[in-house]
A = this chain, B = another copy of it.
């Protein structure tokens, strides 16, 4: 059975979520603010976190940032409409999905299923984009079943691109996810690593195209 952690300041919302989740078989724990949320996350080791963005004090974004410093636990964002900017920021920081309040329980459960399954498939882990296959467990990449030798940074970079294959990945997104929590300024080096990746992927493989001023896109 999966364990879910709810971080939300409204008691009513917590009770509603608890009911929905428990009816689905989740084990549920709660936290009423960001500080407590982080403690519970560390102590309870939940399988999924439901995080409200409108927290008082330590905000939802900060909680997410701190969470991501030490865990990849799937995070589902709860937000109200017209928080577009914050939602973008949360997703860039590695949140897995979001639902907008008020939400239907069916939608909530569906999205939980998806991010749970994604995490589950990460235990027999591969990302596939066309002829490219990334084995996340062994940190190995193959292109048309031919092994490709990648450095750790290159692998992380290609992983971010492959996860969103076919779509633009913002430079911000890349920097936040590949160089998460590091002090150096990698904005210069990104170009170099992209260059290396393109060479290793060769002519026949997937192309990494640049969207000037925005980011990169991997197309199979």
Are B125 and A88 closer than 8 Å at their CB atoms? yes
Partner of A139, one of B97, B118, B119, B211: B211
Q: What mask results when residues 108 to 129 of chain A are scored 1 for a CB within 8 Å of chain B, else 0?
A: 0001001101111111111100
Residue among B122, B136, B173 making CB contact with A114, cutoff 8 Å: B122
Contact A138 B167 (CB under 8 A): yes
Indicate the size class of the contact surface on chain A.
35 or more
Q: Scan residues 95-147 of chain A and give those whose CB is less than 8 A from a CB of chain B.
A: 96-99, 111, 114-115, 117-127, 136-140
Contacts of A167 in B (CB 8 A): 138, 140
Given contacts A122-B96, A151-B213, A213-B152, is CB(A139)–CB(B170) below 8 Å? yes
B-chain residues with CB within 8 Å of residue A173 when the two chains form the complex? 137
Chain B residues within 8 Å of A140, by CB = 167-168
A163 smallest CB distance to B (angstroms): 8
CB nearest to A140 among chain B residues: B168
Asked whether any CB of chain B lies closer than 8 Å to the CB of A91, the reply is yes
Tell me how far the C-beta of A102 lies from the nearest C-beta in chain B, rounded to whole angstroms.
Answer: 15
Give chain B residues whose Cβ lies under 8 Å from the Cβ of A117: 47, 120
Q: Is the CB of B136 within 8 A of A88?
A: yes
Complex CA distance for A25 and B215, rounded to whole angstroms: 32
Interchain CB contact under 8 A, A127 and B84: yes
Distance to closest chain B CB from A116 (angstroms):
10
Task: Tell me the smallest distance from the CB of A84 to a CB of chain B, in Å.
Answer: 5
Q: What are the residues of chain B within 8 A of A91 when measuring CB–CB?
A: 124-125, 137
Cβ of A99: which chain B residues have Cβ within 8 Å of it?
A: 123
Which among A91, A114, A115, A125 has the greatest number of chain B C-beta atoms within 10 A?
A125
A44 to chain B, nearest CB (A): 14
Interface residues of A (CB under 8 A from B): 1-2, 25, 47, 84-85, 87-88, 91-92, 96-99, 111, 114-115, 117-127, 136-140, 151-152, 155, 164, 167-170, 173, 211-215
6 cross-chain pairs, A with B, having the tightest CB-CB distances, nearest first: A152-B213, A97-B122, A87-B125, A138-B168, A139-B214, A138-B167
